[in-house]
Amino acid sequence: MDYPMRSDLRTGSKFPDFELPDHAGESRKLSELLSGFPGVLIFSRGYFCPKDRRQLTNYVIHLQPEFRVNYCKMVTVSVDDKMNTNEVRDALGADWPFLMDPDRKLLHELEMVDTTDPAHGEIYIPYTFILDRDRTIYKIYNGWWFVGRPTAEEIRMDLRALMSKRADWAYPGSGRAEERKS
C-alpha cells in the first residue's frame, strides 16, 4: 500500500530509533522503551480526537492488563504538550509511555503530517505500527478511518506471531522426544 509517510517506513524496514520526552518530561529512545521485545507504536492525532480516545480506551481495557505480563510494549506519540498528554493519559488510566512531539520535529521527519484539521494545525496521521524487538516493522495500520485501526485481537495476533519466532517460545521442559534423549 502507498501510505503518506516517509518512503523507508515500510514493512520489513527498521523504524528509526527516535528520542522524545515522555509524559513525565524524561527523554526516551524507542529502542530503550521496547527493551528487546515486540511493541505497538501508536501515532495519535491528539487530545481532541474522539477516535483516538476510543482506540486508546479499547487498549486500556483489553490490552493493558495483558501487557503487564506478556513482555510486549506499547508507546503512544502525539504533538500534544505535557499538560494535555498527562490529562489524556490520566483520564484513560493508561500506564504505558506517552511521548510528546509539540515542536513537530519528528512529525515532519517521518512525513506523517495530517493537514486536514485547521483548528489543531499539523498533527500525526493516526498510524499504528507493530514492531519486532529490533524495531523492524511487522505491520502498519492506517487509522484515518477508525475501522483501519487495529483491534485488541489483531494486536494480540500480531504480537503472538512475533513472539513465536523466539528460540524460547516453547517451554524447554515440554517432554518432546528430542529433549528426553539428552
pLDDT tens for each residue of 162-179: 999 998 888 776 665 555
CB 60 within 8 A of CB 90: no
Quote the mean pLDDT of the chain.
93
Residue 74 sits in which domain range? 19-166
- Assess if residue 130 is contained within a domain: yes
pLDDT digits (tens, 9 = 90+) for 51-75: 999 999 999 999 999 998 999 999 9
Domain count, the chain: 1
- Assess if residue 68 is contained within a domain: yes
What's 83's domain CATH number? 3.40.30.10
Distance between first and last Cα of the chain: 48
- Assess if residue 9 is contained within a domain: no
- Assess if residue 77 is contained within a domain: yes
CB 2 within 8 A of CB 126: no
Percent of the chain with pLDDT over 90: 84
- Assess if residue 91 is contained within a domain: yes
- Assess if residue 2 is contained within a domain: no
Nearest to 19 by CA among 92, 91, 97, 82: 97
Mean pLDDT is lowest, of 5-9, 10-14, 37-41, 66-70, for 66-70
pLDDT digits (tens, 9 = 90+) for 101-124: 999 999 999 999 998 888 888 999
Question: Residue 168's pLDDT is what?
Answer: 87
- Assess if residue 122 is contained within a domain: yes
Cα separation, 61 vs 155, whole angstroms: 14
Question: Residue 169's pLDDT is what?
Answer: 86
Mean pLDDT is lowest, of 90-94, 118-122, 133-137, for 118-122
Cα separation, 45 vs 67, whole angstroms: 23
Question: Residue 117's pLDDT is what?
Answer: 86
Question: Residue 5's pLDDT is what?
Answer: 94
pTM of the model: 0.92
Question: Residue 170's pLDDT is what?
Answer: 85
